Structure 1
Amino acid sequence: METKEIAQVLKAPAPHMVGDGFRVHNFFPSGYKIDMSPFFLMDYGSKIEFSARKDPRGVGVHPHRGFETVTIAYYGSVAHHDSAGNSGVIYPGDVQWMTAASGILHKEYHEQSYSLAGGPFQMIQLWINLPAAYKMSKPKYQPIKQTDMASFTLPNNGGKIEVIAGKYKGIFGNASTFTPIELYNARLNKGGKASFTFAAAFNTGFMVVEGAIKVNEKDTVEVNNFIHFENKGEEICIEALQNSIILVLSGEPIDEPIVQYGPFLMNTQEEINQAMCDYNEGKFGYLEG
């Protein structure tokens, strides 16, 4: 099997604030012009200390249409409410998978007990595009607790691979997806090794959330860097140089036109115009601020 080589290692772009609760580095599409379809956007919230506060920081009510948001917690905790009646809190290790599809309003903010105490905070949010056939499907919400997450234990006390979506060595993730997607948290102990096999044509990237790793027995990549792989070859091998966490993303590209306007991700400008009209007419439902 041919090795999938590194195309480039990308350093974290300058951070910006989303609302007053999320300091993020946008790796794509703004930070770097790379093709990671079906993953349209990745906001990486590197570890930061938030001071204690009575009124939780966060992002107020805002709309989405045409894609899914996936939020992965590493430090801190985040509460969610949406206009479809879903709500929940994700704690370290948990995942929140929200399918906006035909349209939804939601808000995200620091969970109350975390806000009152303050402390380290680290998250990743992905926007996953939907094919045209599913963009106007019914919204849904998938909370995935770490305690319920399927995982593969690596040999020799190497750590484990938590499978969020897709399949790793016969272990299936809990998340349902509209297109083929592999999404894992690789939690490796120092010296731990893991190998991954993805289709050559899949867009693939690894985010080093903690620690440092050696890739394909030659390239060392430190924390807060994103590894973008070539679209050829199938196999990737990593070794943890210290205790490490790596978010693994791989997916089949969606070969359709994309038009983005703010929180809307559609195929045509006409669909964007319709999304704005529907939002202004209250068709995304109601959610108290």
Structure 2
Amino acid sequence: MKTIKNIFRAVRADMGGLVTYRVMPSQEVAIDDLEPFLFLNHHGPQTYPSRNRGLPFGPHPHKGFETVTFIVEGDIVHTDSTGYNSKIEAGGIQWMTAGKGIIHSENSSKEFLANGGNVEILQLWVNLPANLKNTEPAYTGLQKDEIPHIALDEGKVVVDAVSGEWFGQKGSLQSIADVHIATIGFQKSGKTTIAVPEGRTVLFYVIQGKLNVNNAEVNKLELVEFDTEDGEIQVEAKENSLLLIGHAKPNHEPVVAQGPFVMNSEFEIEQAYQDYQLGKFGSWKH
């Protein structure tokens, strides 16, 4: 079994009235400790009343990495400076490659603003290697039924294969940086074993519930850090649970993050701000 190095608990850090738990980075987890996984925010669970203001993510730029947004409950309307516009509902995901620069917003739908409802959303930032930081921006939105669902352990475990390959089945997306990501839903007592090749960083975060992981108890809002040796992760649910899991090769490059940009040097960060101010990230016409 892979060795557990640490278990970290997410820290409450609300944003604009939205209940938020900052998983990483934190005082205990540096931005490059689990590279290429850089940043993870867990928003909710929270119930919005009718006639609400919705999510607080208006137009803002990004460069140098990818964002992956998981809609557990509620919905998100994604809009960006390349012309994409889509509404993704519960169980779906949004994968955006910021690459050389993009402006986007993530807001609640008109229906949600009017009627309210439950919200639970996660956003993950995945670093791009230096040779891909200036790739063309791109966006893919997938509804729940567009993601392969792999049933294990007589249906007590269901894997939503977002990217890469899981249990012999390819996910909906193939990442340009070979990033494998899934969510796994467990019924109580459901169990599975996940093999991760040597040298890859594991992202393992319990969204809901309680799991026994390689003989350690891991609760909701907890992030597990594993070593990078070859080995297995044995998981058994102590109650109904939802897990976010991923693995990828670290880039082994400098990580310089400032605001909405992640590059390899301070000079590149300055250049990113200049490019944004010069309108090179596209125009916001929405």
1:173-184 equivalences under 5 Å are 173-184=171-182
Q: 1:137 to 1:14 in 2, by over 3 A?
A: same
Partner of 1:237: 234
Summarize the alignment of residues 1-289 of structure 1 with structure 2, pairs less than 5 Å apart: 3-17=1-15, 20=16, 22-34=18-30, 35-53=33-51, 55-216=53-214, 218-288=215-285
Deviations 1:88-136 (A, max 9, x none): 1121110000111011111111122122222221111011111111111
SS at match of 1:156: helix
Distance in structure 2 (CA, Å) of the matches to 1:54 and 1:205: 33
Deviating more after overlay: 225-234 vs 69-78: 225-234
* Counterparts in 2 of 1:276 and 1:215: CA distance versus 1, 3 Å: same
Q: Output the CA distance in 2 between the equivalents of 1:57 and 1:103.
A: 23
Cα distance in 2, alignment partners of residues 138 and 157 from structure 1: 40
Task: Please report how far the alpha carbon of residue 22 of structure 1 lies from its aligned counterpart in structure 2 after TM superposition.
Answer: 4.2
Query: For the Cα contact (< 8 Å) 1:90–1:145, is it kept in 2?
Result: yes
Measured in 2, the distance between the counterparts of 1:101 and 1:9 equals 31
TM norm structure 1: 0.93
Q: Is the 8 A contact 2:52 2:116 kept in 1?
A: no
Q: In the aligned structure 2, how far is the partner of 1:5 from the partner of 1:184?
A: 21
Tell me the distance in 2 between the aligned counterparts of 1:149 and 1:137: 25
Q: CA deviation at 1:69?
A: 0.8
Query: Which shifted more, 22-31 or 179-188?
Result: 22-31
The alpha-carbon deviation at position 54 of structure 1 amounts to 5.0
Equivalents in 2 of 1:8, 1:117: separation in Å?
Answer: 41
SS in 1 for 2:281: coil
Contact kept? 1:67, 1:99, Cα under 8 Å: yes
Letter in 1 for 2:28: Y
Q: CA deviation at 1:156?
A: 2.3
> Is the 1:213–1:222 Cα contact (8 Å) retained in structure 2?
yes
1:275 match: secondary structure: helix
- With normalisation by structure 2, the TM-score equals 0.94
Which consecutive residues of structure 1, in runs of 5 or more, have no partner in the other structure?
none
Moved over 4 A (4+): none
Summarize the Cα distance change of 1:142–1:62 in structure 2 as closer, same or farther, 3 Å threshold.
Answer: same
- Please tell me whether the aligned partners of residues 26 and 42 of structure 1 are also in contact (alpha carbons under 8 angstroms): yes
Among the aligned pairs, what percent are the same residue? 31
In 1: Cα distance, 2:148 partner to 2:98 partner: 25
Change (3 A) 1:21 1:86: farther
Query: 2:27, 2:89 → 1: CA distance?
Result: 27
The answer to whether the 8 A contact 2:204-2:245 is kept is yes
Unmatched segments (≥5 aa) in structure 2? none
Distance 1:129 1:272 in 2: 14
User: 1:31: Cα distance to partner?
Assistant: 4.5
- CA distance in 1: counterparts of 2:193 and 2:212, whole angstroms: 12
Q: CA deviation at 1:55?
A: 4.3
Distance 1:125 1:224 in 2: 14
Question: Number of matched residues?
Answer: 284
AA matched with 1:134: L
Residues 121 and 83 (structure 1 numbering): CA distance in 2 closer, same or farther, change over 3 Å? same
